Amino acid sequence: MNRSNNRGHAPIPTGAKRPWESACLIGLGNVLLGDDGFGPLAIEMFRCAYECGPNIEILDLGTPGLDLAPYLYGANLVVIADAVLAEGKPGTLCTYCEADLLSCRARLRLTAHDPGVQESLAQLRLMDRAPSELIIVGCVPESCELGKNVSPSVWSASSVAADSMARLLMERDVNCRRRRVPLQPNLWWLPRDRCELVASR
Amino acid sequence: MARVSIDPVTRIEGHLRIDVEVDGGTVQKAWACCTMWRGIETILRGRDPREGWVFAQRFCGVCTTVHAMSSVRAVEDALQLEIPANAQYIRNLILIGHGLHDHIVHFYQLSALDWVDITTIPKADPARAASIADGVSNWPGNSHRELEAVQNKVKGLIASGQLGIFSHGYWGHPAMHLSPEMNLILFAHYLQALEFQRKACQVVGILGGKTPHIQNLAVGGVMNAINLNSLATMNMDRLGTLQSLLQDLVPFVQQAYFVDACLLAASYPEWFRYGRGVANYLAVPDLPVDAKATKFDLPGGVIMDGNLGSVRPIQNWRDEAIRAAVAEDVTHAWYKGNGLQKPWQGKTDPDYTDFQENGKYSWVKAPRYNGHPMQVGPVSNVLVGYASGHPLTRKWTDAAFKRISSANGSNVTADDLQSTMGRYLSRAIRSAMLSDLALEHWQLLANNILKGDDTTYNPPQFPAHEVEGVGLHEAPRGTLSHWVVIDKGAFSNYQAVVPTTWNASPRDEKGIPGPYESSLLANPVADPQKPLEVLRTVHSFDPCMACACHTLDASGHEIAQVKVL
């Protein structure tokens, strides 16, 4: 396996269990709609705090609706970060599995491009190309208004969500570890003051 | 399965709500109500025009690419900035990849299940289905074995009692009348379509650096480095990958999608009689074949009152008539203002009143062309091309008519395209055209690179005075225009007039309805509880939105609320 992007660190021991061959981290949401951009924010926080093997894809897919299907096609482990409709204060994180999604326990705020995840999964399942495992890391939004900043509760939750996603990957023996020196997040869509906040951390 | 409401803006409805009044089995009145405020342009004011496209492509999650493209074209138009030939070809290939993807998704995923009754598939004879399919196409996915495997999957799905996403279809509806074999063929292609959507995404990804949300654009060209001797740039290897992806895509479009659309049209010929609606058509030229954008592979033009002989060509993007003609009316939209307003002077001040069928009832403005509502989309593209004698349009349109005629003996003409079925068929015709052009534009790019031209970018210069520009693009859903005003190197105004604004337009100050609204009039509705026919016409426009249809009986009593699948 090509480990060139581990920057010379020793490879992560894979232990006795066979690790997942590949994984895909997907951020969903519209970055222009305040807390709806939780998904892209959380995966950017993850990318900057953790490094992964080359077989891990990190994708900001925005609000793709049915166009999600090509990205889930034949995938192994899929972790989706998204704003969700759930009980709890803004910034509350909730993790769901695919069964929760299909039984409507998880109400994703996934875009106006209805249909989306359910239809994509159903079609992939009929083709025997559905992901082996699908996990959703959801966050309760405070405000999804146009051009608004991410609210403080969701902002704090995004780093916690990055850690949860890393834990989910590590529990499944996916090649993933915390960076010694974190990268600077590229949050081009946020107003300047938020970017400066990141710089000063 | 209960449906999940997926909508970040209202949490209940999608962007579009259609209200129809049904009496005597047909639609008498219709309202198209967009429930989402699309004031997203406001966040572009004051921004650097060089980065506008990065924000503009987040307007919408599905049509990301088209907004990025219109945004850079608008700024280039304002600056009168030419872009290099390589940049045109790379942009064109991205637009073709996106367009093919979009049309395939529309036909198989967003609309096929309005026509295909999957619950009859277990009754099909796969051998007979294979022979029907073989008789009209040499698509390799039509084998007896393949179709039998699909049939077994559907049998398993039905036996499980959990139709899942398919549980909301209007199965057994009297307006569904394809044979079990035809249903099986179309459903098999619905499943196969995903492979080809992926390939189209890969084309966009290789050229755009990322998909969705391409990263390679710049005001002045593209940021793709071309160096045949480098591993990291556009080189022969990457050109080869692109070519083989395109070569894989073409047969699916021409032998599966195009053939299926013709079979569908031949099986439902009555739908050439419904859904005409606004018979004014607008398409803009696209896929320029030279750096200066003087010649185009997709023709543009205007047709009024359904009279194909009246076509007025739009030769290029500098066309003065379109700049002067486009204006928006907000009489029935939830915005402040009176009369027609030019996009460059356009304002977006909300004035929400609740749904008032004789007052304001939609967040969509009413765009007008010299005061007239216009229909946009592949049907406009095809009608304009056909009427002006464009050879590629004629080739595929005539091929479609021939197929329909040999299937059911009817004589379909270009005038019949002005209908619900015409919109479906035009989208397939346009896809077949795009699939021919995909390889041609690949060749244009390869030839230009091999000639030694590696330029992809001309740097922009911003004047100190105010300038205006419009970025035109014939997107999968029709004519898209971004209107920008730039002052001292920043946007001072930004308005997007999108295809769905034209088609989903509410009434204007004269009370004239938009294309969705007028196309629904006289549509049959066999069962108001199951207004499948309304969905067929609404879906024929490929609305880029979640859509909820309400059916009202003449007393105004709401009797059904239907979520569009």
3-class DSSP state for residue B470? Answer: strand
Tokens 């036996």 belong to which residue?
Answer: B159
Distance CA B37, CA B16 (A): 11
Residues of A in contact with B252 (CB under 8 A): none
Secondary structure letter of residue B287 according to DSSP: E
Question: What mean pLDDT comes out for the span B470-491?
Answer: 96
Kindly report the length of chain A.
201
For chain A, which residues score pLDDT lower than 50?
1-17, 109-115, 199-201
For residue range B292-326, what is the model confidence (pLDDT) as tens digits?
A: 999 999 999 999 999 999 999 999 999 999 999 99
pLDDT (0 to 100) of residue A18: 52
Distance CA A64, CA B468 (A): 32
Name the residue with higher pLDDT: B495 or A118: B495
Are the C-beta atoms of residues B444 and B52 closer than 8 Å to each other? Answer: no
Probe site for chain A from B1, B58, B249, B562 (most A CB atoms < 10 A): B58
Residues of B in contact with A47 (CB under 8 A): none
Query: CB–CB of A32 and B8 under 8 A?
Result: no
3-class DSSP state for residue B397? Answer: helix
Distance CA B498, CA B66 (A): 10
CA distances from B206 to B94, B365, B441 (A): 9, 36, 15
pLDDT (0 to 100) of residue A106: 52
pLDDT band for B37, please (50, 70, 90 cuts): low
Query: Minimal Cα–Cα distance from B548 to chain A, Å?
Result: 10
For residue range B92-118, what is the model confidence (pLDDT) as tens digits?
A: 999 999 999 999 998 998 888 889 999
Beta bridge partners of B298: B286
Give percent of chain B with pLDDT exceeding 90.
72
With an 8 Å Cβ cutoff, is B127 touching chain A? no
pLDDT (0 to 100) of residue A198: 53
The whole-model pTM stands at 0.91
Using the CB atoms, write b or e for B485-500: b if 16+ within 10 Å.
Answer: bbbeeebebbbbbbbb
3-class DSSP state for residue B111? Answer: helix
Kindly tell me if the per-residue pLDDT of B7 is higher than 70: no
Distance CA B302, CA B383 (A): 9
Closest CA to B180 of B131, B139, B128: B128
Closest CA to B478 of B283, B214, B210: B283
Name the residue with higher pLDDT: A146 or B204: B204
Distance CA B115, CA B5 (A): 24
Return mean pLDDT, chain B: 89
Query: Minimal Cα–Cα distance from A103 to chain B, Å?
Result: 7
pLDDT band for B168, please (50, 70, 90 cuts): low
pLDDT (0 to 100) of residue B561: 44
Pairing of strands B547-553, B16-23: parallel
Kindly report the length of chain B.
565
Partner residue opposite A127 with nearest CB, options B5, B15, B194? B194
Beta bridge partners of A77: A23, A133
Distance CA A39, CA A83 (A): 7
pLDDT (0 to 100) of residue A71: 92
pLDDT (0 to 100) of residue B354: 81
pLDDT (0 to 100) of residue B12: 22
3-class DSSP state for residue B184? Answer: helix
CA distances from B77 to B219, B417, B482 (A): 10, 33, 11
Cα torsion B258, B214, A190, B219: sign: negative
pLDDT band for B531, please (50, 70, 90 cuts): confident
Kindly state the tokens that stand for B556.
Answer: 């105004």
Distance CA B62, CA B270 (A): 32
Ranges B2-16, B20-34, B222-236, B383-397: which has the least confidence:
B2-16
Are the C-beta atoms of residues B11 and A84 closer than 8 Å to each other? Answer: no
Kindly tell me if the per-residue pLDDT of B4 is higher than 60: no
- B 29-58 residues with CB < 8 A to A: 36-37, 39-40, 42-43, 54-55, 58
pLDDT band for B67, please (50, 70, 90 cuts): very high
For residue range B368-414, what is the model confidence (pLDDT) as tens digits?
A: 999 999 999 999 999 999 999 999 999 999 999 999 999 999 999 99
Ranges B21-30, B267-276, B412-421, B483-492: which has the least confidence:
B21-30
Kindly tell me if the per-residue pLDDT of B330 is higher than 70: yes
Using the CB atoms, write b or e for B219-257: b if 16+ within 10 Å.
Answer: bbbbebebeeeeeeebbeebbeebbebbeebbbbbbbbb
Residues of A in contact with B11 (CB under 8 A): 85, 109
Using H for helix, E for strand and C for coil, what is the string for chain A? CCCHHHCCCCCCCCCCCCCCCCEEEEEECCCCCHHHHHHHHHHHHHHHHEEECCCEEEEEEECCHHHHHHHHCCCCEEEEEEEEECCCCCCCEEEEEHHHHHCCCCEECCCCCCCCHHHHHHHHHHCCCCCCEEEEEEECCCCCCCCCCCCHHHHHHHHHHHHHHHHHHHHCCCCEEECCCCCCCCCCCCCHHHHHHHHCC
Kindly state the tokens that stand for B23.
Answer: 């009496």
Question: What mean pLDDT comes out for the span B510-521?
Answer: 94
**Burial class of residue B467 (count of CB atoms within 10 Å of its CB; 0-12, 13-18, 19+):** middle
CA distances from B327 to A151, A197, B133 (A): 37, 43, 47
Question: What mean pLDDT comes out for the span B147-154?
Answer: 95
For residue range B70-81, what is the model confidence (pLDDT) as tens digits?
A: 999 999 999 999
pLDDT (0 to 100) of residue B350: 81
Residue type present at position B75: V
pLDDT (0 to 100) of residue B411: 96
With an 8 Å Cβ cutoff, is B166 touching chain A? yes
pLDDT (0 to 100) of residue B15: 60
Total Cβ atoms within 10 A of residue A22: 18
Query: CB–CB of B110 and A129 under 8 A?
Result: no
Are the C-beta atoms of residues A102 and A118 closer than 8 Å to each other? Answer: yes
Ranges B174-183, B516-525, B527-536: which has the least confidence:
B527-536
3-class DSSP state for residue B367? Answer: strand
Kindly state the tokens that stand for B110.
Answer: 């967003």
Partner residue opposite A113 with nearest CB, options B42, B166, B546? B546
Beta bridge partners of A135: A79, A97
Are the C-beta atoms of residues B255 and B138 closer than 8 Å to each other? Answer: yes
Q: Which residues contact A71 (CB under 8 A, 6 or more apart)?
A: A24, A26, A59, A61, A64, B201
Beta bridge partners of B303: B281
Partner residue opposite B2 with nearest CB, options A85, A104, A129? A104
Any idea of the CA torsion for B293, B295, B300, B301, to the nearest 10 degrees?
Answer: 110
With an 8 Å Cβ cutoff, is A16 touching chain B? no
Q: What angle do CA B165, B167, B172 make, to 5 degrees?
A: 135
Closest CA to B99 of B430, B327, B330, B376: B430
Name the residue with higher pLDDT: B219 or B171: B219
What's domain A19-176+189-199's superfamily in CATH? HybD-like (3.40.50.1450)
pLDDT (0 to 100) of residue A118: 74
For residue range B249-271, what is the model confidence (pLDDT) as tens digits?
A: 999 999 999 999 999 999 999 99
Residues of B in contact with A26 (CB under 8 A): none
Residue type present at position A124: L
With an 8 Å Cβ cutoff, is A110 touching chain B? yes
Query: Nearest-CA residue of chain A relative to B205?
Result: A71
Supply φ then ψ for residue B504, to 5 degrees.
Answer: -95, 15
